Amino acid sequence: MVEELVAAGVTVGSVGAVYVMAAARVVKQYERGVVLRLGRLQSSVRGPGFTMVVPFVDRLRKVNMQIVTMPVPAQDGITRDNVTVRVDAVIYFKVIDAAEAVVQVEDYRFAVSQMAQTSLRSIIGKSDLDDLLSNREQLNQGLELMIDSPAVGWGVQIDRVEIKDVSLPETMKRSMARQAEADRERRARVINADAELQASKKLAQAAHEMADEPAALQLRLLQTVVAVAAEKNSTLVLPFPVELLRFLERSTQAQQPPAAVAESPASIPESPAVAMPDFGTTDSEAGEPDAPEASRTGQD
């Protein structure tokens, strides 16, 4: 009798151990357990930790609640301004309702991936090239709204969508490079013209100051000579202003005595023209030959 009880107890214990092993489940901290009992969804979602299910009756589906980083394959498209581009992106999402993610969609990861690809192609066709290159923040928000609208019904929340890279054709890259070069050249010319305008204004102010003080021009000339001589050149080009010559001429005339000034060629007036008397026309002037010298002597 005792042996039968012991055998029965061992049998019950074995059956209980097998049941516990078949019914025991462990849900991790970042997971949630969805129980389907005979194909029907149970209202309670199992939290993290140890939990029990009915063997061969319940089926436990574990759903990861972490943020998932999913790359979106590069999509070829034509922008609104007829430029062919290739754009790829990355999407961040997480499951907020484990039951909806299991029941409403067959594979929520695949669904989100396909929705992201179609939304990316749609946003490419609605945007200009300049928007894709410079206004990505607004495009990211538009992508997030387009993907998040159907994903809410799947128990999935879209955290963020980022456009990673925009690939352009080589011809477009060369055209953009030429455009940027032309723009840089235009800005450089404008800056140079502005610099010339400012320099001309400063030079005009300096000219007015030098006109009021003639000695300033001489000092500037000496500074230029010193600057050129510091280079140890064998040839020195010295500009000599005309105003300095006039100044020296006036100084020389002021230092000469009055007599010397009166006798100077500049002060002597020109002599008037003297009229010569008309003695008539000679025979040679009339075209007749001159008489021989001997005949003239005989007549005398």
Least confident stretch, 54-68, 145-159, 174-188, 241-255: 241-255
How many CB atoms sit inside 10 A of residue 151's CB? Answer: 24
pTM greater than the 0.95 cutoff: no
pLDDT at 238: 65
Strand-by-strand arrangement of the 58-64 sheet? 40-46, 31-37, 58-64
Q: What is the 3-state secondary structure (H, E, C) of the chain?
A: CHHHHHHHHHHHHHHHHHHHHHHEEEECCCEEEEEEECCEEEEEEECCEEEECCCCCEEEEEEECCCEEEEEEEEEEECCCCCEEEEEEEEEEEECCHHHHHHCCCCHHHHHHHHHHHHHHHHHHHCCHHHHHHCHHHHHHHHHHHHHHHHHHHCEEEEEEEEEEEECCHHHHHHHHHHHHHHHHHHHHHHHHHHHHHHHHHHHHHHHHHHHCHHHHHHHHHHHHHHHHCCCCCCCCCCCCHHHHHHHHHHHHHHCCHHHHHHCCCCCCCCCCCCCCCCCCCHHHHCCCCCCHHHHHHHC
pLDDT at 259: 54
Confidence class for position 1, pLDDT limits 50, 70, 90: low
> Of 146, 144, 46, 50, which Cα lies nearest the Cα of 98?
46
Return the bridge partners of 158, or none: 93
Tens digits of per-residue pLDDT, 136-172?
A: 888 888 888 888 888 888 999 999 999 988 888 888 8
pLDDT at 208: 83
